[in-house]
Amino acid sequence: MEFDRLEAAWRSPANTLDARAQAYLMEEVMKSLKARRRGEILLFAIPMIAMSIFTAIAVRAIAQGRLDPAREWGALVMLGVCWLVLGAILVAGVLLRHRRSQDQGSMRDTLAAMLSANRRARTNMKVFLVMLPVFLVPMLFSITQLHQVGKATERDAWQMLLVFGLALGASVTWNTARYFGVMKPEQRRLEALLKEYE
Amino acid sequence: MGRDIARDVDRDFADWLAPHLPMLHRTARAFAEPADQHDLLQEMSLALWKARPRFRAESAASTFAHRVAHNAALTWRRGEARRRTRGVAIEAELLTREAGTDPQGALLETLYAAIRRLPPIERSLILLSLDGLPYAEIARLHGLSETNVGARLTRIRQRVASLVEEADHGV
């Protein structure tokens, strides 16, 4: 088959959207863009609102003398660690927005940059696992302190440990699944694409 | 007031996107199977929406759109975003109707199927060439030399022609 015939078919009206199809597609695209944008805002707003509520409760408890920071500092450290992580995500997001992106440089450079980003993300996940004890220590301290000051019975303390343990377990499971189910296949896909250039 | 601004931004983006929509549609057809084309089209549109604030008039808007769309298509993973919408059926109907009334429609379907059988980078190269981009531009987009692009495209055209021929003969 002559390639010219295929090129002619490519340029034919059959390969061009008519006005109705184009209008429909545009409407669908804009609808999905709005939905995605709303989703992205919610994804950040929900933890932000939850953290603000917890912080306001803590500040109010300190102000009313119901929480003694000298004896119950564990809970405050826990709150601090959460704000630190949230802040780091926000800063990283802002920095990434200004970084060289896929609309600059060649596609080959972009794929190489994506592979580097994938490597960094996988390293971050490993760091997260290593950092777990850093979060676990203030958590254990805060529960022990609550028990010591009489705000939690032994039964309450065990229940708290169970709930926090389950939450951390779920987080570790999610990250492990993402590591092997998303990040590793993406790494293989990017490596295969870059290999095509050789 | 915030809503008015968002509406203006959306309208502005829609106006900017409109001339590139046919290219996005062709790219989706060449990179994804029919059931996934709608998802890929949305992924490419989203990539363009995110990238557009960084668009500078140093390069042509169509080159910029090609670069962002092809990058999104190359790294898109089937089933990544399960957003099968009611639209797919209507869209398919609209486009099938169009293909069916044109004698070139069947040949185009075979051509798209042949392109989908190529490795991703080759798919991107032949699409850019079919869309009329000069070798120098394709070379710049992919970070290859012009000679390399020329040699690759000669091979890819032969491969596509033989795949179409195989399909025509029911091989």
State whether B40 and B96 are in the same domain: yes
State whether B114 and B91 are in the same domain: no
Please name the residues in contact with B86: beta carbons below 8 A apart, sequence gap of 6 or more: none
Least CB–CB distance from A101: residue in B13, B54, B142: B54
- B157 vs A3: CB contact, 8 Å cut-off? yes
Least CB–CB distance from A18: residue in B90, B91, B98: B98
- B51 vs A101: CB contact, 8 Å cut-off? yes
- What is the sign, positive or negative, of the torsion defined by CA atoms of B9, A103, A12, B28? negative
State whether B29 and B72 are in the same domain: yes
Least CB–CB distance from B42: residue in A8, A9, A29: A29
State whether B85 and B109 are in the same domain: no
Half-sphere exposure of residue A195: CA atoms within 13 angstroms, side-chain side: 7
Please give the tally of structural domains in chain B.
Answer: 2
State whether B97 and B107 are in the same domain: no
State whether B114 and B32 are in the same domain: no
- A105 vs B17: CB contact, 8 Å cut-off? no
Q: Per-residue pLDDT averaged across B97-102, rounded?
A: 55
- A26 vs B14: CB contact, 8 Å cut-off? yes
State whether B86 and B123 are in the same domain: no
State whether B19 and B89 are in the same domain: yes
pTM: 0.75
Least CB–CB distance from A14: residue in B49, B105, B124: B105
Chain B residues closer than 8 Å to A17 by CB: 21-22, 25, 95, 98
The residue among B101, B128, B145 that closes a domain is: B101
Amino acid at B59: S
Task: Determine the residue of chain B that is closest to A25 in CA distance.
Answer: B91
Chain B residues closer than 8 Å to A16 by CB: 22
Instruction: Give the helix ranges, DSSP H, for B18-143.
Output: 21-31, 37-51, 61-75, 87-101, 104-116, 120-130, 135-142
* Percentage of residues of chain A with pLDDT beyond 90: 8
The predicted structure's pLDDT at residue B3:
64
State whether B107 and B155 are in the same domain: yes
| pLDDT above 90 for B124 | yes
Per-domain residue ranges of chain A: 1-67, 68-198
Please name the residues in contact with A105: beta carbons below 8 A apart, sequence gap of 6 or more: A113, B143
CATH of the domain at B2: 1.10.1740.10
Specify the range with the lowest mean pLDDT, choosing from A72-81, A91-100, B13-22: A91-100
CATH of the domain at B128: 1.10.10.10
| pLDDT above 90 for B115 | yes
The residue among B101, B128, B153 that closes a domain is: B101
The predicted structure's pLDDT at residue B86:
46
State whether B108 and B136 are in the same domain: yes
State whether B94 and B140 are in the same domain: no
The predicted structure's pLDDT at residue B96:
53
Q: Per-residue pLDDT averaged across A66-78, rounded?
A: 83
Please tell me the distance in Å from A191's CA to the nearest CA on chain B.
11
State whether B13 and B94 are in the same domain: yes
Chain B residues closer than 8 Å to A94 by CB: none
Least CB–CB distance from B14: residue in A10, A30, A106: A30
Distance in angstroms (rounded) separating the CA atoms of residues A29 and B17 = 10
Q: Give which of B107, B126, B138 to mutate to test A binding, by max A Cβ within 10 Å.
A: B107
- Give the Å distances, CA to CA, from A30 to A73, B50, B71, B89: 49, 13, 20, 18
User: Crossing angle, helix B21-31 and helix B104-116, to 10 degrees?
Assistant: 60
Residue pLDDT, tens place only, A117-146? 888 888 878 877 877 777 788 888 888 888
Q: Could you tell me if the ipTM is greater than 0.85?
A: no
Please name the residues in contact with A173: beta carbons below 8 A apart, sequence gap of 6 or more: none
The predicted structure's pLDDT at residue A143:
87
User: What integer best gives the mean pLDDT of chain A?
Assistant: 83
The residue among B51, B75, B101 that closes a domain is: B101
Q: What pLDDT band is residue A71 in, cutting at 50, 70 and 90?
A: confident
Residue range of the domain that includes B55: 1-101
Chain B residues closer than 8 Å to A20 by CB: 94
- Candidates A188, A161, A171, A164; CA nearest to A131 is A171
Highest mean pLDDT among A78-87, B87-96, B140-149: B140-149
The predicted structure's pLDDT at residue A190:
92
* Percentage of residues of chain B with pLDDT beyond 70: 78
User: What integer best gives the mean pLDDT of chain B?
Assistant: 82
- B143 vs A106: CB contact, 8 Å cut-off? yes
